[in-house]
Amino acid sequence: MIEASRDKNDRGSLVDVIDRLLDKGLVINADIVVSVAGVELLGVKVRAALSSFATAAKYGLEFPSGTNLETAAWKEAQSGVETCPQCGKEVSKEELLNDCCPWCGWMSAKAEKRLKEKELQGVPLIAAPVQQ
Protein backbone atom coordinates (compact mmCIF):
# COMPACT_ATOMS: atom_id res chain seq x y z
CA MET A 1 0.00 0.00 0.00
CA ILE A 2 1.39 3.38 -0.96
CA GLU A 3 0.82 6.23 1.44
CA ALA A 4 1.19 9.94 0.84
CA SER A 5 4.47 11.31 2.14
CA ARG A 6 4.55 14.12 4.67
CA ASP A 7 6.82 17.11 5.03
CA LYS A 8 9.21 16.95 7.98
CA ASN A 9 7.82 20.29 9.15
CA ASP A 10 4.19 19.12 8.81
CA ARG A 11 3.07 18.07 12.28
CA GLY A 12 0.01 15.94 12.87
CA SER A 13 -2.53 16.84 15.48
CA LEU A 14 -3.33 14.62 18.44
CA VAL A 15 -6.43 13.42 16.59
CA ASP A 16 -4.28 12.33 13.62
CA VAL A 17 -1.90 10.44 15.92
CA ILE A 18 -4.73 8.65 17.76
CA ASP A 19 -6.50 7.83 14.48
CA ARG A 20 -3.32 6.33 13.02
CA LEU A 21 -2.57 4.44 16.23
CA LEU A 22 -6.04 2.89 16.34
CA ASP A 23 -5.97 2.15 12.60
CA LYS A 24 -2.58 0.40 12.61
CA GLY A 25 -2.50 -0.79 16.22
CA LEU A 26 0.28 -0.92 18.78
CA VAL A 27 1.68 -4.03 20.47
CA ILE A 28 4.01 -3.96 23.44
CA ASN A 29 5.75 -7.22 24.30
CA ALA A 30 8.46 -6.90 26.95
CA ASP A 31 10.28 -9.16 29.39
CA ILE A 32 12.02 -7.34 32.23
CA VAL A 33 14.38 -9.27 34.49
CA VAL A 34 16.25 -7.91 37.49
CA SER A 35 19.11 -10.12 38.63
CA VAL A 36 22.10 -9.80 40.94
CA ALA A 37 25.16 -12.01 40.52
CA GLY A 38 23.31 -14.25 38.10
CA VAL A 39 20.36 -14.82 40.45
CA GLU A 40 17.00 -13.67 39.11
CA LEU A 41 15.30 -11.55 41.75
CA LEU A 42 12.38 -10.13 39.80
CA GLY A 43 10.76 -10.97 36.48
CA VAL A 44 8.00 -9.02 34.79
CA LYS A 45 6.31 -9.93 31.52
CA VAL A 46 4.30 -7.21 29.83
CA ARG A 47 1.86 -7.97 27.02
CA ALA A 48 -0.33 -5.11 25.81
CA ALA A 49 -2.20 -4.30 22.62
CA LEU A 50 -3.93 -1.07 21.68
CA SER A 51 -6.04 -0.91 18.53
CA SER A 52 -9.53 -0.29 17.22
CA PHE A 53 -12.03 -3.14 17.16
CA ALA A 54 -11.68 -3.31 13.37
CA THR A 55 -7.90 -3.73 13.54
CA ALA A 56 -8.12 -6.24 16.37
CA ALA A 57 -10.73 -8.28 14.51
CA LYS A 58 -8.61 -8.17 11.34
CA TYR A 59 -5.68 -9.79 13.17
CA GLY A 60 -7.81 -12.16 15.24
CA LEU A 61 -7.07 -10.77 18.71
CA GLU A 62 -9.20 -12.23 21.49
CA PHE A 63 -11.46 -9.95 23.48
CA PRO A 64 -12.21 -10.14 27.20
CA SER A 65 -15.06 -12.34 28.34
CA GLY A 66 -18.29 -10.40 28.55
CA THR A 67 -17.61 -8.47 25.32
CA ASN A 68 -20.91 -8.14 23.46
CA LEU A 69 -20.14 -9.40 19.96
CA GLU A 70 -23.68 -8.69 18.69
CA THR A 71 -23.40 -4.89 18.58
CA ALA A 72 -23.55 -2.95 15.33
CA ALA A 73 -19.96 -1.73 15.78
CA TRP A 74 -18.66 -5.29 16.16
CA LYS A 75 -20.57 -6.49 13.08
CA GLU A 76 -19.16 -3.57 11.08
CA ALA A 77 -15.64 -4.44 12.23
CA GLN A 78 -16.13 -8.01 11.05
CA SER A 79 -17.73 -7.00 7.74
CA GLY A 80 -14.43 -6.70 5.89
CA VAL A 81 -14.17 -2.97 5.28
CA GLU A 82 -10.90 -1.68 3.80
CA THR A 83 -9.61 1.84 3.23
CA CYS A 84 -9.04 2.92 -0.37
CA PRO A 85 -5.37 3.88 -0.84
CA GLN A 86 -6.25 6.72 -3.21
CA CYS A 87 -9.19 8.56 -1.60
CA GLY A 88 -9.08 7.15 1.96
CA LYS A 89 -12.78 6.23 2.09
CA GLU A 90 -13.90 2.93 3.60
CA VAL A 91 -15.14 0.39 1.05
CA SER A 92 -16.03 -3.30 1.22
CA LYS A 93 -12.83 -5.35 0.93
CA GLU A 94 -14.33 -7.61 -1.75
CA GLU A 95 -15.48 -4.66 -3.86
CA LEU A 96 -12.16 -2.84 -3.49
CA LEU A 97 -10.03 -5.86 -4.43
CA ASN A 98 -12.22 -7.37 -7.16
CA ASP A 99 -13.83 -4.32 -8.81
CA CYS A 100 -12.86 -0.74 -8.02
CA CYS A 101 -13.44 1.99 -5.47
CA PRO A 102 -16.92 3.43 -6.10
CA TRP A 103 -15.77 6.83 -4.83
CA CYS A 104 -12.66 7.52 -6.91
CA GLY A 105 -12.37 4.60 -9.36
CA TRP A 106 -9.06 3.25 -8.00
CA MET A 107 -8.44 -0.34 -9.14
CA SER A 108 -6.33 -3.01 -7.50
CA ALA A 109 -3.84 -4.99 -9.56
CA LYS A 110 -6.13 -8.01 -9.27
CA ALA A 111 -9.09 -6.05 -10.71
CA GLU A 112 -6.97 -4.63 -13.53
CA LYS A 113 -5.76 -8.13 -14.42
CA ARG A 114 -9.33 -9.46 -14.52
CA LEU A 115 -10.40 -6.52 -16.70
CA LYS A 116 -7.56 -7.14 -19.17
CA GLU A 117 -8.38 -10.86 -19.29
CA LYS A 118 -12.01 -10.06 -20.10
CA GLU A 119 -10.93 -7.64 -22.85
CA LEU A 120 -8.66 -10.31 -24.39
CA GLN A 121 -11.53 -12.82 -24.33
CA GLY A 122 -13.78 -10.31 -26.09
CA VAL A 123 -16.28 -10.15 -23.25
CA PRO A 124 -18.30 -6.94 -23.54
CA LEU A 125 -17.95 -4.69 -20.52
CA ILE A 126 -21.11 -3.12 -19.12
CA ALA A 127 -19.36 -0.19 -17.50
CA ALA A 128 -15.69 0.68 -17.31
CA PRO A 129 -14.36 2.02 -14.03
CA VAL A 130 -13.52 5.70 -13.81
CA GLN A 131 -9.78 6.50 -13.68
CA GLN A 132 -8.41 9.78 -12.42
SS3 32: strand
**DSSP-assigned letter for residue 117:** H
Which of 111, 79, 43, 117 is closest to 129 using CA atoms?
111
Alpha helices (H) along the chain: 14-24, 53-58, 72-78, 93-98, 109-121
Contact 89/83 with Cβ under 8 angstroms? yes
111 pLDDT band (50/70/90 cuts)? confident
When pLDDT is averaged across residues 101-114 and rounded to a whole number, the result is 86
Q: What is the rounded average pLDDT for all residues in the chain? A: 76
Q: What digits encode the pLDDT tens for the residues 35-82?
A: 888 888 888 888 777 777 667 766 666 677 777 778 877 776 666 778
**DSSP-assigned letter for residue 129:** P
Question: What is the predicted pLDDT for the residue at 96?
Answer: 82
Residue ranges per structural domain of the chain? 12-59, 78-119
